Amino acid sequence: MTEPYIELHAASAFSFLEGASSPESLIERAAKIEMPAMALLDRNGVYGSARFHTSAKRNDVRAHVGAEVSVSGFGPRLTPAAWLPHQHIAEPARVPLLCESREGYQNLCQLITRFKMRETTKQEGSANLADIQQYASGLICLTGGDEGPLAAALMRGGEKAGCEAVEQLVRIFGSKNVYVELQRHQEREEEWRNQTAIRIARSLRLPVLATNGVRYATAYDREILDLFTAVRNHTELDRAGRLLSVNSQRHLRTAKKMRMLFRDVPGAIENTRDLSSRLQFELSDLGYEFPRYPVPDGDTMDSFLRKRVEEGVVRRYGPKRDAALLERARKQVEHELALIAKLGFAGYFLIVWDIVDFCKKHDILIQGRGSAANSAVCYALEITAIDPVGMDLLFERFLSESRGEWPDIDLDLPSEEKREQAIQYVYRRYGERGAAICANVITYRGKSAAREVGKALGFDQDSLQRLSGLVSQFEWRGPKDTMAHSFHNAGFDLQHPRIAKYLELCMRIQDLPRHLGQHSGGMVICRGQLDRVVPLERASMPGRTVVQWDKEDCADLGIIKVDLLGLGMMAVLKDCLELIPKHYGDKVDLAQLPEDTEVYHTLQRADTVGMFQVESRAQMASLPRNKPEKFYDVVVQVAIIRPGPIVGKMMHPYMRRRQRKEEISYPHPSLEPVLKRTLGVPLFQEQLLRMAMTVANFSGAEAEELRRAVGMRRSWERMKKLEEKLREGMRANNIDAATQETIIQNISSFALYGFPESHAASFALIAYASAYFKVRYLAAFTCAILNNQPMGFYMPAVLVKDAQRHGLRIKPMDIQVSEWACTLEYEDDGSLSMRLGLGYAKGLRKQAAEMITRSRLDHGPFRSAEDLTSRVPLLNRKELTLLARVGALNTLAGIENRRDALWQVERAGKLEGPLLRYREDLLKEDAKDSPLQQMSIDERLVADYAGTGLTIGQHPMAYRRSQLRNDRILSAEELRNRRDGDYVQTAGCVIARQRPGTAKGFIFLSIEDETGIANVIVTPDLYERERLVVTRSKFILAEGPLQNQDGVIHVKATQLRTLSNQGLEVHSHDFH
């Protein structure tokens, strides 16, 4: 057999902007050229190793782990000679290190963590010689290519310096662990270095090693590397000069080619095989352990958990006064605890319980969701709020014996501040090196690609701006919705070679990593030191550290994370729980909210603006049909408007059955208990599991395996086996062939997108709570939701108008009264109204607003504009103008209207020079009154929207109503009274534009007027014709036939027109 060649020095695109191929494509290429193993050495990290490893496993390639580590002690890396013009910046040389053993890997991780964490902000950083000396064992060092220490030393001081550099490496790593690396990219200078390196290797008796310093999978990808080089150096390709590569030889070459290139250097190729066989470490041997929970003496984690759970069962089920339920719960808990003990997961539950406990003690609302809600143990530990026993949820969906993986618990927290508290608690508890956030790899997408490639190719800012504005953010990608189409629409001529190249490059870099961000809340915790498992580094947010892998990578390698997610609605509920007792005097408890018919009536009317999960247009269109009457209906409602049920064609059968338009039937009589709750239509993942268990006698674990097999496209083979087993089971149960087919169809079409019932139940609880608060405590709810923006489906302007339509009085922002947040006020008649907070003045700094409120508190109301500026000197001219413009200064003495205020603040904001400052007689102004005209209605509207994003006065459409009525244009309210099929005209302000992936290119516009919200359907054809009107117009006039079915109203537009935009900065929520 011919000698194999193994590439031991390759970098992927995870060397951010210094490599041009994904780890997956490197492996694909390796598999294609039959390379049995390969090593990935990215710059200062193992960012790509997890993917590299996973992909290598699939392709039967051995994946070696390593990294190129910047070491400041080896001097700056090679740059072109000083007499040549070039733009290289000084960077430290990088030493390529390979992990021979687990110890070596742990050392590499700690080494990288050491210097990354030495930086105080997110920085590349570099190691010093002491660092590598400390962490050298188990690592094999190569002398590197042009980024390495040998090349740098040779250029600096010739052969002598090179020899010294290699000797230094030998002193650090030991003579057995240093290889003199030779790369041949067919460059003259490099060959000169190679010849010297060979002499040095011979004199020091070190082995030589051929590598290709790979930066991309195929020669063609050199273009991407050059492009990235330009991006990395903030320059254009035309100006990058010597920064770019000389040729395209840094691809993954075949063994044959490498043997030919190195046939004059004995051992260079053979040594790659020998070294590869020395490298025993692989990522599957990570040695990760989840931390143990410290328990009191005499307890084990299992016994401690059992005690906590038993207490919880009494606390949770006691008040329900249902002996049978309690008995069932005890049995379920027993079953779960046995399994948890068997799998050794007690520590995990206790740690999550500990976090929840911390939150409860510190007044942070927290609720578990996801499949954890299937577990009675989680319910008893108060991790979740849904009773899985009472709701008959399936535990196996959460935890099963055969799966061999950790359970997944997601915790919802009110966003930002409170969530940060919880995260910081975890850091404190497990140490800076014991916990970290998962990374989030930011990749090139349509817009970012178009922008950066355009810049590199030297296109001007204006064209790029226009293009990035047009690159579609639509969910649905229609046949014409390609990047090429966007380019064309932006006014680019695709026939032009340079523009064709632009487009091509944009497409090629899609999904390649750009930089590392942090995940929204996935925390990785480790027993012992996490920095021995994966390198940690600083996140851009102070006080945060991130691991170098994202959450899929962590999951693939069996690292457990706890998701601490921010959920805006949790913060709203939390605020409501404070506002309601304070202002209404009612005591409310989220776990004990009453079933309220008024709330269900409101849901049935789809009057749901602002309510969690049921406020979207699609939800509104289905609520009047489904008519929820009890809590479980809300659970279904939350789950049904999802891609899964829609694609699986389950939504319509359920709705028809719900409306009694269709007979309820079951695929097989034995499935009735499983599907009864959802009228014979499978909607939840748990039901699919139970179906398999019922009809084919699957065990819980087998059923879960089936769900996962269906969920993964790749596991086709496994799926086939399971399907056979399923059929076999069904045959054993005497189910006929046709029914078998239906059941299998049900399972395979749905499982991919299905929603766990437990998850839906957790969300439904929040949805119901939000609905209940909105219906019963509108002022508190509106105040809370406005104080927690941005969140949800609608802009504040829509929420305000909706609240006003429901009878809430909203009062304007007032410098004498408003706080930073919106607040509640009592009216003379005892009713509650809401005062707009200063936070809604767009551009006012919180600091300045706080100074206003403090000054008011200390010294009473402001007397004049002068008084305001002298007492709150922090306010700058812009802020004063802003406050004046939106009418917040109208209650100051001497100010009658907004223009008065604008006239006065312009003066008050200006100090005279020292000579004039105290000469009031000179400064006195002749005219008492402002010479400016009062704002017209239109001007006030423009000022409101520009300054606050909303208006509390009349809806802009109300001012045009009489004109519209003359033109026979109907309001949203009037549409409700028209018959299905009537040809109508309607107009309004666009508040949302959507193109759902499931709607085949149809677009839904939600338009609002003073009477409510109407929906307009835009066909793909009409969209093509009126693209600008659809995407840009703020006020729109639509005409076409009305669809009025079951109380759901849509106008199917045949014509669209822009009503004048009046210069209003109205914002809509688009395409989500």
* 186 vs 300, beta carbon nearer other proteins: 186
Backbone phi and psi for residue 388, each to the nearest 5 degrees, phi listed first:
-70, -25
Q: How far is the CB of 848 from other proteins (least distance, A)?
A: 19
Q: How far apart are the first and last CA of the chain?
A: 57
**Applying CB under 8 A, does 229 fall inside the site for other proteins?**
no
Residues 95, 144 contacting (CB under 8 angstroms): yes
Q: Given the rule CB under 8 A, which of 77-85, 284-292, 432-440, 536-544 is the region that contacts other proteins? A: 77-85
Q: How far is the CB of 504 from other proteins (least distance, A)?
A: 10
Q: Which of residues 123-182 bind other proteins (CB under 8 A)?
A: 158
Task: Identify which of 1019, 1025, 961, 950 has the alpha carbon closest to the alpha carbon of residue 988.
Answer: 961
Tokens 């606050």 locate to 948
Which positions from 463 to 482 touch other proteins by CB under 8 A, shown as an x/- string? x-------------------
| Among 6, 261, 499, 1013, contact with other proteins (rule: CB under 8 A) | 499
| Among 179, 304, 781, 903, contact with other proteins (rule: CB under 8 A) | 903
Q: Which of residues 869-898 bind other proteins (CB under 8 A)?
A: 881, 884-885
| Among 496, 731, 917, 919, contact with other proteins (rule: CB under 8 A) | 496
**Applying CB under 8 A, does 927 fall inside the site for other proteins?**
yes
| Among 42, 226, 615, 802, contact with other proteins (rule: CB under 8 A) | 226
Say what the alpha-carbon torsion angle 117, 119, 125, 126 is, to the nearest 10 degrees: -70
| Among 39, 112, 208, 237, contact with other proteins (rule: CB under 8 A) | 237
Which positions from 933 to 952 touch other proteins by CB under 8 A, shown as an x/- string? x-xx--x-------------
Backbone phi and psi for residue 48, each to the nearest 5 degrees, phi listed first:
-95, -5
Q: How far is the CB of 489 from other proteins (least distance, A)?
A: 9
Q: How far is the CB of 963 from other proteins (least distance, A)?
A: 23
Q: For residue 909, what are the CA distances in angstroms to 230, 254, 843, 870, 901?
A: 46, 73, 17, 9, 12
Residues 956, 1062 contacting (CB under 8 angstroms): yes
Question: Residue 935 has what DSSP assignment?
Answer: P
**Applying CB under 8 A, does 866 fall inside the site for other proteins?**
no
Q: Given the rule CB under 8 A, which of 281-289, 330-338, 428-436, 929-937 is the region that contacts other proteins? A: 929-937
Residues 544, 518 contacting (CB under 8 angstroms): yes
Q: Which two tokens stand for residue 83?
A: 């007499």
Task: Identify which of 433, 704, 469, 656 has the alpha carbon closest to the alpha carbon of residue 546.
Answer: 433
Q: Given the rule CB under 8 A, which of 43-51, 99-107, 236-244, 798-806 is the region that contacts other proteins? A: 236-244
Residues 183, 11 contacting (CB under 8 angstroms): no
| Among 120, 188, 361, 915, contact with other proteins (rule: CB under 8 A) | 188
Residues 1051, 1017 contacting (CB under 8 angstroms): yes
Q: How far is the CB of 239 from other proteins (least distance, A)?
A: 8
CA–CA separation, 1010 and 858 (whole Å): 41
Q: How far is the CB of 464 from other proteins (least distance, A)?
A: 11
CA–CA separation, 850 and 219 (whole Å): 60
A 10 A CB-CB count for 930 gives: 17
Q: How far is the CB of 120 from other proteins (least distance, A)?
A: 35
Q: How far is the CB of 434 from other proteins (least distance, A)?
A: 48
**Applying CB under 8 A, does 926 fall inside the site for other proteins?**
yes
Residues 783, 389 contacting (CB under 8 angstroms): no
**Applying CB under 8 A, does 198 fall inside the site for other proteins?**
no
- At position 616, the amino acid (one-letter code) is S
* 58 vs 156, beta carbon nearer other proteins: 156
**Applying CB under 8 A, does 82 fall inside the site for other proteins?**
yes
Q: 918: burial class by Cβ within 10 Å (0-12, 13-18, 19+)?
A: exposed
Q: Given the rule CB under 8 A, which of 397-405, 486-494, 535-543, 681-689 is the region that contacts other proteins? A: 486-494
Q: How far is the CB of 512 from other proteins (least distance, A)?
A: 18
| Among 209, 525, 559, 902, contact with other proteins (rule: CB under 8 A) | 902
Question: Residue 609 has what DSSP assignment?
Answer: T
| Among 85, 542, 594, 807, contact with other proteins (rule: CB under 8 A) | 85
**Applying CB under 8 A, does 591 fall inside the site for other proteins?**
no
Q: How far is the CB of 262 from other proteins (least distance, A)?
A: 15
Q: How far is the CB of 662 from other proteins (least distance, A)?
A: 49
Q: 297: burial class by Cβ within 10 Å (0-12, 13-18, 19+)?
A: exposed
Tell me if residue 681 falls in helix, strand or coil.
coil
Q: How far is the CB of 938 from other proteins (least distance, A)?
A: 11
Binding-residue total with other proteins (CB under 8 A): 59
* 856 vs 885, beta carbon nearer other proteins: 885
Tokens 């119901």 locate to 768
Question: How is 751-806 classified by DSSP, letter by letter?
Answer: TTT-B-HHHHHHHHHHHHHHHHHHHH-HHHHHHHHHTT-S-SSS-HHHHHHHHHHT
A 10 A CB-CB count for 984 gives: 22
| Among 106, 249, 472, 518, contact with other proteins (rule: CB under 8 A) | 249
Q: How far is the CB of 237 from other proteins (least distance, A)?
A: 5
Q: How far is the CB of 456 from other proteins (least distance, A)?
A: 9
* 283 vs 457, beta carbon nearer other proteins: 457
| Among 31, 36, 86, 267, contact with other proteins (rule: CB under 8 A) | 86
* 248 vs 303, beta carbon nearer other proteins: 248
What's the per-residue H, E or C state across 278-346? HCCCCHHHCCCCCCCCCCCCCCCHHHHHHHHHHHHHHHHHHHHCCHHHHHHHHHHHHHHHHHHHHHCCH
| Among 174, 241, 431, 953, contact with other proteins (rule: CB under 8 A) | 241
Q: For residue 205, what are the CA distances in angstroms to 139, 180, 208, 650?
A: 19, 10, 9, 72
Question: Residue 467: left if φ>0, alpha if ψ -120 to 50, beta else—which one?
Answer: alpha
Q: How far is the CB of 908 from other proteins (least distance, A)?
A: 9
| Among 259, 899, 993, 1052, contact with other proteins (rule: CB under 8 A) | 899
The secondary element (H helix, E strand) that includes residue 468 is helix 461-470
Q: Given the rule CB under 8 A, which of 136-144, 299-307, 498-506, 795-803 is the region that contacts other proteins? A: 498-506
**Applying CB under 8 A, does 914 fall inside the site for other proteins?**
no
Q: Given the rule CB under 8 A, which of 41-49, 221-229, 370-378, 556-564 is the region that contacts other proteins? A: 221-229
**Applying CB under 8 A, does 264 fall inside the site for other proteins?**
no
Residues 142, 96 contacting (CB under 8 angstroms): yes
**Applying CB under 8 A, does 398 fall inside the site for other proteins?**
no
Q: Are strands 513-525 and 536-538 parallel, antiparallel or unpaired?
A: unpaired
**Applying CB under 8 A, does 491 fall inside the site for other proteins?**
yes
Residues 841, 882 contacting (CB under 8 angstroms): yes
List residues near other proteins by CB under 8 A.
81-87, 158, 185-188, 191, 222-223, 226, 237-238, 241-242, 244, 246-249, 457, 459-460, 462-463, 488, 490-493, 496-499, 501, 881, 884-885, 899, 902-903, 906-907, 910, 923, 925-927, 931-933, 935-936, 939
